[in-house]
Structures are given as C-alpha cells and as structure tokens.
Chains A and B, each alone.
Chain A
C-alpha cells in the first residue's frame, strides 16, 4: 500500500515537473523569437491592455515580433495554472477527491483573476 502510494506520488511529481518545464520552455522560445523579430524591424507594443489572443495569433503568423512576445508572456503566466490542472486531474484519477477539490478551487481563483484582469 505504501509503495503504491509512493509510486502514484512519483508519477504525479514527474507529470508536474514536465508540465512546468514544458510551459517555461515554450514561453522562452516564443519570447526569444519575438525579441529577435522586434529587433529586426517590428515595433514592440508599448504598455497598455493587450490585444485579444486571436489578434495576437494572426500577428504572430504574419511575423510580428510584438505578438510573439505577448504570446510568450501569456504562456508563462498560464504555466502555473497548467500545473494546477495536471495535479487536479491526477488527484481525481487517484480518487483523492479532497485534493482534487482543492485544485479546482485554486483553478477557480486563477480563472477569476484572469477575468478580472482582462474583463476589467
């Protein structure tokens, strides 16, 4: 029983480890591409509310460095949230409902923050 618990915990730890690393890696790549493109001629966006994600994706497709940068920042901010989702599903799969509910609560708070930031 103890070894099974340890094994399940280790599986979750590995999943979280790779989620954090992958999110960070993707955001770094996007930001580096964006900075290189911006140096090459695209004008970076000054501070101000960000454009909608659909607009960012269109701009990135057209090679706008500023949009690659914004996408990188969005992935960076979302990475801890992705970690919460992975843990929530992991605990739910293990039928650790109490901690799955805790993860859902944290995710709700992060979502509220997102709506407060972009909707306000």
Chain B
C-alpha cells in the first residue's frame, strides 16, 4: 500500500478510519476493537502493523476527547496521572511482549479480548449507585478526590478515591493489554475506577480517557521505533478516525442506543470467531 499511494487507496483508508471512529464514538468504546479486525481481516494488514496503526489512532482520539473532558473539569488529572505510572509501565511491557509474539498468537489474544468486550457491549453500561456524592471541603476528599459540576442535575458531585492500589494493579494490566493489542484499555479502566476506586461513572470515563493517551503513547514509541508503523497508511487511518469520532459524537445524540449496541455486540462476537479461526488455522 505505502509504495503506491493512490487517491482511491487513501480514500479507502480514510473511510475505514472514519467508520471505526464513528462506531467508537456512538457505542462508547474505543475504536481499536473495530479498527484492528478491519485492518487485518479487511485490508490484509499483518497483525503487528494493524496494532501499531490502532495504537496511534488511540493516541489521536484520546487527545481530542481528553482535551474536552479536561476543559469541562470531569477528568481527574491527579488521579489519572498517578495511575499513569502503572498504565505506562504496563504498556511498555505489553509493547515489548508483542515484539516477541507471533502474529497468530496476537490474533488469538485479540479474539479472546473481543469476547468480554462483546458481552459488555450487549449488556450495556448499567447504572450503579454513584459513589458517595457530597459536597464537602477539599480536605475531606483526600489528595486524589475531586469535584465536578453535573449540569443535568444542577449539582456538584464530590468523591473520595478508595483502593488506590487496586486501581494501580488494574491499570497496569490495562496498559499491558493496550500495548499488546493496540486498544485503549478503557474497557478495564472505567470499571476499575468506578467500582474499585469509587469514582462516579462520568468522571471514571473522563479520567480513563485522559489516561489512555499516555498509555498508548508509551507503547507507540516502541512500535514506531522498531518499524511496525506504515506511515502513510497510519496517517490516513488516523485522520479518518478523527473525522469519524467527530461525526460519531454528533450521531450519538440521534441514534437509539440499545439496538445498535446489541447489533454490534453480535458483530464483535462474529469478528472474534473469525480472528480465533485465523489464529488457529494460520
């Protein structure tokens, strides 16, 4: 592809990126779970190059979304930065490990990851009791606690962070998976932040997204430096993903959630089967 860049090829890559970017924005999941299979199964890209392309796309989308969440005050930067110690270390380990694994092994691992992702997508994000929202003095929130405005409810939500060590452990694992498979890792980080650390779901999603950029960058250096990135292909996909994410944010307001989510859960399940088949058969 790179050796003969054509307008048609470029538009195709932009479209592939746009589709995954908009799917990610509409379905509330990172585009990596869609992008890697599209690149491998649809465009025939080797798995390591697909992962490298996806990880750079994740850096781009995370930076875009995080800039908005930070400005809104929902991303907890102190907590996110603290957990980034673990996710960055995990991402480096994951990126290094990926270099040692065969493409079939990576495809098999990706298929395994898609199964719980599909299940979570089918079930959707269940509302759970928000962590002890109370407006208190900053001293009562601890060093990592925070407050954010909830305009829809007209109140300030304040929270303390619990079980930081548990959050660090899950963050390390999430970073590992991110570096290994080219995804953001939010599917692990958001539940960990919300259920383990007691962060309200809105702040958990925003903080997770805030962290994902650094997590992805940590392994992106590895992939780029060892030559797994195809520059023209990757840049076209990245641009497409950014466009698609912007479009998806608009569509998100108009598209009903449950049916689309279940439809793509089934699609992800089918993709998982196909990638598992490839891993087994070669």
B residues 207-240 in Cβ contact with A at 8 Å = 213-214, 216-232, 234-236, 238-239
Any chain B CB within 8 A of the CB of A59?
A: no
How far, in whole Å, are A28 and B84 apart by their CA atoms in the complex? Answer: 25
Q: Size range of the interface on B?
A: 35 or more
Residue pair B213, A103 in contact (C-beta under 8 Å): no
Mask of A1-42 contacts with B, CB within 8 angstroms, 1/0: 010010001101110111011011001100110110011000
B232 engages A76 (CB within 8 Å): no
Closest to A45 in B: B231
Q: Bound state CA distance, A47 and B230, in angstroms?
A: 5
B-side contacts of A102, CB under 8 Å: 78, 81-82, 85
Q: Do the beta carbons of B67 and A109 come within 8 Å of each other?
A: no
Residues of A within 8 A of B218 (CB): 109-110, 113
Q: Which B residue's beta carbon lies closest to that of A119? A: B225
Indicate which residue in A10, A76, A78, A109 contacts B85 across the interface (CB closer than 8 Å): A109
A43's nearest neighbour on chain B, judged by CB, is B3
In the complex, the chain A residue whose C-beta lies closest to that of B57 is A76
Interface majority SS on B: helix, strand, loop or mixed? helix
Task: Tell me the interface secondary structure of chain A in the complex.
Answer: helix
- In the bound complex, residues from chain A placing their C-beta under 8 Å from that of B59 are 76-77, 79-80
Point out the residues of chain B lying under 8 angstroms from A80, CB to CB. Answer: 59, 62-63, 213-214, 216-217
Task: Categorize the interface residue count of chain A.
Answer: 35 or more
Task: Determine whether the beta carbon of B232 is less than 8 Å from that of A38.
Answer: yes
Q: Which of B7-47 contact A (CB under 8 A)?
A: 7, 10
A-side contacts of B66, CB under 8 Å? 20
Q: Does chain A have a CB within 8 A of B190?
A: no
Contact assessment for B138 and A12 in the assembled complex, using a CB-CB cutoff below 8 Å: no
B13 to chain A minimum Cβ distance, whole angstroms, is 10
Q: If the complex has contacts A14-B71, A39-B5, A113-B222, are A99 and B85 also in contact, measured as CB distance less than 8 A?
A: no
Contact B239 A109, beta carbon cutoff 8 Å: no
Chain B hits for A17, CB < 8 A: 67-68, 70-71
Residue in chain A with minimal CB distance to B67: A20
B56 contacts the other chain (CB 8 A): yes
A32, A69, A80, A84 pick with most chain B CB within 10 angstroms:
A80
With an 8 A cutoff between CB atoms, is A44 at the interface? yes
Do A21 and B67 contact each other (CB < 8 Å), given the known contacts A39-B7, A69-B231?
Answer: yes
CB nearest to A27 among chain B residues:
B60
Q: Is the CB of A46 within 8 A of B5?
A: no
- What are the residues of chain B within 8 A of A24 when measuring CB–CB? 60, 63-64, 67, 242
B2 in complex: contacting residue of A46, A113, A116, CB < 8 Å: A46
Taking CB atoms, residues of chain B closer than 8 Å to A45 are 2, 231-232
CB distance from A11 to the nearest CB of B (A): 12
Q: How far in angstroms is the closest Cβ of chain A from B45?
A: 10
* A60 contacts the other chain (CB 8 A): no
- B50 to chain A: closest CB distance in Å? 12
A–B Cβ pairs within 8 angstroms, 20 of them: A2-B137, A5-B138, A16-B77, A20-B67, A24-B67, A31-B239, A35-B232, A38-B232, A47-B228, A69-B231, A69-B235, A77-B221, A79-B59, A80-B214, A87-B81, A102-B78, A109-B89, A113-B92, A116-B92, A120-B226
B interface with A by C-beta (< 8 Å): 2-3, 5-7, 10, 49, 56, 59-60, 62-64, 66-68, 70-71, 73, 77-78, 81-82, 84-85, 88-89, 91-92, 95-96, 137-138, 143, 213-214, 216-232, 234-236, 238-239, 242
The 9 A-B residue pairs with the shortest CB-CB distance in the complex, in nearest-first order: A117-B225, A44-B232, A80-B213, A20-B67, A31-B235, A117-B221, A118-B225, A109-B88, A48-B227
